[in-house]
Amino acid sequence: MEVDNQLRLDLLREALPYIQRFKGQTFVVKLSGKVTENQENLTSLAEELALLHQVGIRICVVHGGGKQLSELANKLGVEQTIIEGRRVTDDATLEMAKMIFAGKINTDILAALRQRSIEAVGLSGVDGNIVHAERRPPKEILNRETGVRDKVDFGHVGDVVQINIRLLTVLLDHGYLPVISSLGADDEGMVFNINADTIAAEIAVQLQAEKLILLSDVDGIYLNANDPATKLSRLTATEAGELISSRAASGGMIPKLQSITVLLQRGVHSAHIISGTKRNALLSEVFTDKGTGTMIVA
């Protein structure tokens, strides 16, 4: 028992300089659908977010929900087409995305934070014109099976034109915790499904965030996906670029690294890829020297 207490007190001592350093700074935390689907996991994560909020860190949460959207589509018998990790969003899929993103998942996150007495505010990118978007034009994409380049229309999928942080700043300045779902709209009021990583990154740049933290189903970047020993704990933007050019990075790691490198060049101090399903991963990443995931610094 004495050893346990000693360990806890040592952890508090280790956390103190980080608490002092990050007080008043802004963190943008992106949650994937897999992170929010399990109630127990979401409750645990809400505790960690609440603790960051309570020590004076300005938290802004952005979430997707692709997994839940696919499950609802399956239940309703609406066929889904996903090309190179991007969902083709037809009329029926957009209606479901509105229900799942701005409805169910957003409310679930708010309720979990409410349980920890945090005054969170649920928004979509359409609220306060936070995410000004435009329809993604049809793109030529190589069909890997046939070797032929096909033109793909992604439907109601949007690209971010501009982020308006006026509403977010008002909320953060008054101690609220904004929770934003990955929808946006254009000047005509057309609503679009937008990649949550992209929204989180753009918001982080506009808020001049100290950190962008991506909570996902992987706990960092691995040189070899099948070998836990190859996890990279800390990288510079230059090293990330070298991983891409030397082809040491592969598959889905490449677009993540590319977007993070650009993000750091635009003023965000660090980006983190950590597990969203491992208890205390967020607190450990922020408040301990060792961390738990991969940290990429400018």
Note the pLDDT of residue 251.
Answer: 66
User: How large is the average pLDDT for residues 55-64?
Assistant: 97
For the chain, how long is the longest CA-to-CA vector? 67
What does the pLDDT read at residue 252?
A: 66
- Mean pLDDT confidence for 5-27: 91
The mean pLDDT value of the chain amounts to 91
Q: Tell whether domain 25-207 is in CATH 3.30.390.30.
A: no
pLDDT beyond 90 at 127: yes
Q: Which of 121, 107, 212, 125 is nearest to 174 (CA)?
A: 121
Q: Where are the domains of the chain?
A: 25-207, 210-270+286-298
Instruction: Over range 108-119, report the average pLDDT.
Output: 97
Residue 183 has pLDDT above 70, yes or no: yes
Averaged pLDDT, 144-154:
84
CA distances (Å), origin 271, targets 55, 100, 210, 214, 220: 20, 27, 9, 8, 11
181: CB partners within 8 A, 6+ apart: 62, 63, 64, 65, 101, 102, 105, 106, 122, 123, 124, 125
d(Cα 133, Cα 189) in Å, to the nearest integer?
Answer: 10
Cα 194 from chain centre:
12
What number is the average pLDDT over the span 224-253?
Answer: 81
User: Residue 11 pLDDT > 70, yes or no?
Assistant: yes
Per DSSP, helices labelled H in the chain are 2-22, 33-37, 39-54, 66-76, 91-97, 106-114, 166-173, 196-206, 237-245, 253-265, 281-287
User: Is residue 84's pLDDT more than 80?
Assistant: no
Query: Which residue's entry shows tokens 């934003």?
Result: 180
- 1-10, 74-83, 148-157, 169-178: range with highest mean pLDDT: 169-178
Averaged pLDDT, 185-213:
96
Cβ–Cβ < 8 Å for 193, 156: yes
Burial class, 32, CB count within 10 angstroms (exposed 0-12 / middle 13-18 / buried 19+): buried
